[in-house]
Amino acid sequence: MRRRWGIGGAAGFVVVALVVAVRLMIVAGVAAGPSLVTSPRVAPPPRPIPVLAHVPGYDASTPPSVGWWQAYVNVTFSEGFSAGPKVRRWGIGQECERTRCVFKLTRLVPGDTADVATLRRVRGGWRADYNTSAWCGQRDGRWLRWPLQMHVVLRFSRDQRQFIGTESEFASSDECGYGSATREWRGVQAPQPADDMPAGLLAS
């Protein structure tokens, strides 16, 4: 026997269809919602180290000169980092074991520990890679730190009294978000810093 839908039957079918559709939408919304609304901002990949431009009088093969340096910064890109001081104090030391010597680049960070990395010869100059940490903020009365990666390439003048350089810096953590920056550096030899600076940075 063929069944015929009356007005009540058709209306009931429509209601049931709507309820099913709404439930499907709710389920889909729950599944997709967190990734669209509550997921943290995804950090971009670290920026590559900017290529050092050719500057007359600066040679990639010139070795570093041991001593203290006054480093002046020009920020070319920054997101998530504070400006920081325009002038920094850096030290270049040398460590030798038997007949093999390596150069060390020490960066004095105001209000924090000094960062030290080996300077190694690369095609464009001398490169130092840092895997360290830094203060990134304060929450609930406690100071926060985030992992920090810095990559620096320096090129020294032929008389070894000045350098030019470029840098890429990247940091990321769940509590502080992320920071990314690139910088240009210019350095000149400087006198020994104050007595309260870390000792033993310029071992020869």
Residues 6+ apart with CB under 8 A from 166: 49, 50, 51, 52, 152, 153, 182, 183, 184, 185
Q: Are 146 and 43 in contact (CB under 8 A)?
A: no
- Please check whether residue 6 lies inside any domain of the structure: no
Question: Residue 76 has what pLDDT?
Answer: 92
pLDDT class for 43, splitting at 50, 70, 90? Answer: low
In a domain, 101, yes or no: yes
69 near 189, Cβ under 8 Å? yes
pLDDT at 42: 62
pLDDT above 90: percentage of residues in the chain: 38
pLDDT digits (tens, 9 = 90+) for 18-40: 333 434 333 333 333 222 222 24
CATH number, domain of 180, equals 2.40.128
Question: What is the dihedral sign for C-alpha 83, 167, 127, 151?
Answer: positive
Each residue's pLDDT tens digit, 64-101:
999 999 999 999 998 888 777 888 999 999 999 888 89
When divided into structural domains, the chain yields a total of: 1
Please state the rounded mean pLDDT for residues 124-148.
86
Average pLDDT in the chain? 75
Residue 159 included in any domain: yes
Q: Which range (90-104, 131-145, 157-171) has the least confidence?
A: 131-145
Residue 29 belongs to a domain:
no
Q: Which domain holds residue 122?
A: 58-190
| 61 three-state secondary structure | coil
Identify the pLDDT of residue 117: 95
In one-letter notation, the amino acid at residue 182 is T
Averaged over 134-156, what is the pLDDT?
A: 86
Q: Of 204, 196, 184, 172, which is closest to residue 41 (Cα–Cα)?
A: 172
